[in-house]
Structure 1
Amino acid sequence: MKITAAVVNHVNAPYQLETLELTALRQDEVRVRLVASGICHSDEAIRVGDEEYFFPAVLGHEGAGIVEEVGSAVNGVKAGDHVLMSYAYCGHCHPCRQGHPSHCQDWGMMNAGGFRADGSAIHLKPDGSKVSNMFFQSSFATYAHTAFNNLIVVDKSADLRLVAPLGCGLLTGSSTVFNGLKPQPGSTIAIFGTGAVGLAAMMAAKISGCRQIVAVDIHDSRLALARELGATDVINSAREDVAGTIASLTQGHGVNYAIDTTGVSAVMKSALDALAIGGTLVPVALTRHDLTFNPLRHLIASSKRIVGVLMGDAIPQVSVPQLIDWHQRGLFPFEKLVKFYDFADINQAREDSAKGVTIKPVLIIDKSYSV
């Protein structure tokens, strides 16, 4: 079938709306009509070449829509269901069965391989050439073919336009706190970068009972929002000495936990230096930059840890409904981060996000949708 998709034809190219062929639905796949999709930093990192990828490509991995057709081998979802899409995982390898699908042994192939396991493409250009896929959803399109494990069925009372970005960025930020760090009530945390991932982590830290939540950024407007959402202290790192200020705020101890969402080498090092003895740093950004440190001086002597946490170590089908519940109870007010854009304005949305004008852009793909 013919669909409209935002195609990136080569590294650093703008998105271009094109007509593509969506290849035949397979028995283990599900066709979803997209209503909306968030734009995530990972989309931009791939577009500009921070991560190697196969071009041309249809990006997007925070999709929300309505199931139109279900392959014969798929159970547990039906036509008409309202769904969010998150990352793909096999569901049967050892890590998946232990409850850690983000550790899936086939995670890289399924989410960043660009094509089906047999090498076939889900999207084709009119001349028959392959277009690569992202996260087995490619949500910057009017339709997607995806897998059952990508899907989170949500109540039809949920606004698909609003909840779309829960599939990656907000899930990653919040679940890095809930699952990766598991902070003790009364502990202290610093979050470097107050974009969507950072603010989601900050709201999760508040829910978790952290006593002191320090937000670090270079944008005063974002720091003001961080205060509104629960930060106890804010630091503008363009004007203040971060390490000195955090030491002052914590009576010289440093923070128990730090999360870096920027991927900037100097900022990641600053986050490591801000830790208390025995503290833990989680860097979560998709970045081409390195973090350089001396193991004895910066880790061993102070018993600090650096931990890798992919996708918040979350089971999307468990964590996303919990985030929706917290949102409904006013504990996770992520709507304050969201700005809506027409699908045709995807390049403007991307630019606004890159400049910090918009924290979480969401593309409205189906303008006829209503709750």
Structure 2
Amino acid sequence: MQMTAALSRGPESPFTLETVQIDDPRPDEILVRIVATGLCHTDLFTKSLLPQTVGACLFGHEGAGIVEAVGSEITHIVPGHHVLLSVRSCGVCRQCIDGHRAYCERSHQLNSAGVRTDGSSPIHQNGAPIRAAYFGQSSFAQYAITTVDNTVVIDPAVNLAVVAPLGCGFQTGAGAVLNMLRPEPDSTFVVFGAGSVGFAAILAARTAGVTTIVAVDPVAERRKLAEEFGAVTIDPATDNIVDAVRAATDGGSAHSLDTTGIGAVINQGVASLRARGTLAVVGLGAREVPLNIADIMLNGKTVRGCIEGDSDVTTFIPRLVELFNAGSFPIDRLVTPYAFSDINQAVADQTSGKVIKPVLLW
């Protein structure tokens, strides 16, 4: 079947809308008509890493849509179901069996290889395969081939354009708080970087009843919105971040989250922890960061990595949808819609900080 897709043809080139062909679903696959897809920093980060010689790539991993067709082996998902798409996991490795599907031992093969597990691509152009199957979906297109493990059925009354980012960005921030850090109501929580992941973390901390929430971000508009959500804000351009965090949290944060991936910011996060505090890191950026090990050891501090909010998408995404429906997780205030034809403008606006979460609509 022919469809339109937003292809990447190199790390520096813009996305281009082009006609491609998508396979019919195999017995264990699902064909989803995409309604909306969130634009995530991970899409752009991965795009920047792949050399020009890789050829055309189809990204997109926060898809939301309606099931068009299912393979013969699929029983509990049927055409017409409204679904959110997320990260794949095998379900049978040690991590998956232990309930940590975000750390699936086959994650790279299932999500980042650019092909199905048998080496084929579900997307072609003029007979040539396109690097696709990104996060088991490649949803920067009108349709996507997905699988049971990354396709979550949701209430059809929910606005797909709002909840699409639950597939990754919003899930990552909220899950880091609710699944990993788990702050107590009388505890303190600090987020470094108030983008889509950071704001989802702020909203999650609110749902957990945390009364002291701090947001560190250089963009005035984002600080203003964080204050509307009940956070104390810090401007890194004018404030001494470590001192300001300690002042706002009565001596240091118990729970912190870095969304920036910037080494200097990560170190500020560690330094501003109280004794036995924890910093979770979710930002893609610096591969190596020097840390003050003496400070970490002598004060019992913890630095933890966190992928996809440490969540099982099949249970955590429905939980977040319920919180949104209940009015306690107002992610609609974070989303800005764009037509897919305006994808490059959405990239520019996200990069500049003009918007928090662009969502692309067909």
Structure 2 length-normalised TM: 0.96
Q: Kindly tell me: are residues 111 and 362 of structure 1, through their superposed partners in 2, closer, same or farther at Cα, counting changes over 3 Å?
A: same
Offset at 1:55? 4.2
**What corresponds to 1:238 in structure 2?**
237
With over 3 angstroms needed to count, the CA separation of the structure-2 counterparts of 1:95 and 1:129, relative to structure 1, is closer
Residue number among 270, 273, 286 corresponding to 1:272 in the alignment? 270
Moved more, 52-61 or 299-308: 52-61
Aligned length: 362
Partners of 1:70 and 1:277 in 2: CA distance: 52
Give distance in 2, aligned partners of 1:285 and 1:55. Answer: 27
Secondary structure class of the residue paired with 2:214: strand
Partner secondary structure for residue 26 of structure 2: coil
Cα offset, 1:173, TM superposition:
0.2
SS at match of 2:92: coil
**1:363 partnered with 2:353:** no
Q: Deviations over 1:163-189 (max 9, x none)?
A: 111111000000100111111221111
Q: What CA distance in whole angstroms lies between the structure 2 residues aligned with 1:364 and 1:348?
A: 13
Match of 2:342 in 1: 345
CA distance in 1, matches of 2:340, 2:170: 21
Does residue 104 (structure 1) correspond to residue 104 (structure 2)? The answer is yes
Q: 1:75: Cα distance to partner?
A: 2.1
- What aligned pairs does 1:173-322 form with structure 2 within 5 A after superposition? 173-231=173-231, 233-251=232-250, 253-295=251-293, 297-322=294-319
Rounded Cα–Cα distance in structure 2 between residues aligned with 1:336 and 1:119: 40
Letter in 2 for 1:42: T
Report what 1:21 is aligned to.
21
Q: Output the amino acid matched with 2:4.
A: T
Counterpart-to-counterpart distance in 2, 1:50 and 1:130: 14
RMSD: 1.6
Question: Is the 8 Å Cα contact of residues 58 and 130 (structure 2) preserved in structure 1?
Answer: no
Deviations 1:95-115 (A, max 9, x none): 222222112111111011110
Per-residue deviation, 1:7 = 0.4
Q: Distance in 2 between matches of 1:52 and 1:196?
A: 29
State the alpha-carbon separation in 1 of the partners of residues 220 and 76 from structure 2: 46
| Alpha-carbon offset, residue 53 of structure 1 | 11
Q: 2:133–2:145: 8 Å Cα contact kept in structure 1?
A: no
Looking at structure 2, the residues matched to 290 and 227 of structure 1 have their Cα atoms a distance apart, in angstroms, of 33
Q: How does 1:143-154 map to 2 (within 5 A)?
A: 143-154=143-154
1:206-250 Cα distance to aligned partner (Å, 9 max, x none) = 11122311100001110010111231x110001111111122223
**In structure 1, distance between residues paired with 2:348 and 2:133:** 22
* 1:265 partner amino acid: G
| Structure 2: stretches of 5+ with no match in the other structure | none
Distance, in Å, in 1 between the alignment partners of 2:123 and 2:319 is 33
Q: Do the aligned residues in 1 keep the contact of 2:11 with 2:52 (CA within 8 Å)?
A: no
Judge conservation of contact 1:22–1:122 (CA < 8 Å) in 2.
yes
Aligned residues: percent identity? 39
Query: Deviating runs (4+, > 6 A) in structure 1?
Result: 50-53
The question of whether the paired residues in 2 share the 8 Å contact of 1:89 and 1:149 is answered with yes
CA distances 1:287-313 after superposition (whole Å, capped 9, x unpaired): 244321132x12111110111111011
CA distance in 2 between partners of 1:21 and 1:194 (Å): 38
Q: Tell me the TM-score normalised to structure 1 length.
A: 0.94
C-alpha displacement at 1:52, in angstroms? Answer: 11
Q: Determine helix, strand or coil for the equivalent of 1:278.
A: strand
What's the secondary structure of 1:4's corresponding residue?
strand
Counterpart contact for 2:9–2:52, Cα < 8 Å = no
Post-superposition offset of 1:50: 8.3
Is the CA contact 2:166–2:317 (under 8 Å) kept in the aligned structure 1?
Answer: yes
Distance 1:293 1:258, change over 3 A: same
Q: Compared with structure 1, are the counterparts of its residues 332 and 53 closer, same or farther at alpha carbon in structure 2 (3 Å cutoff)?
A: farther
Gap change, CA 1:54 and 1:170, over 3 Å in 2: farther
Q: Provide closer, same or farther for how the CA distance between residues 348 and 55 of structure 1 changes in structure 2, counting only shifts above 3 A.
A: same
Runs of 5+ unmatched residues, structure 1: 366-371
Please tell me whether the aligned partners of residues 57 and 133 of structure 1 are also in contact (alpha carbons under 8 angstroms): no
Counterpart secondary structure, 2:136: coil
Cα distance, 1:60–1:234 mapped onto 2, change above 3 Å: same
Q: Do the aligned residues in 1 keep the contact of 2:100 with 2:312 (CA within 8 Å)?
A: yes
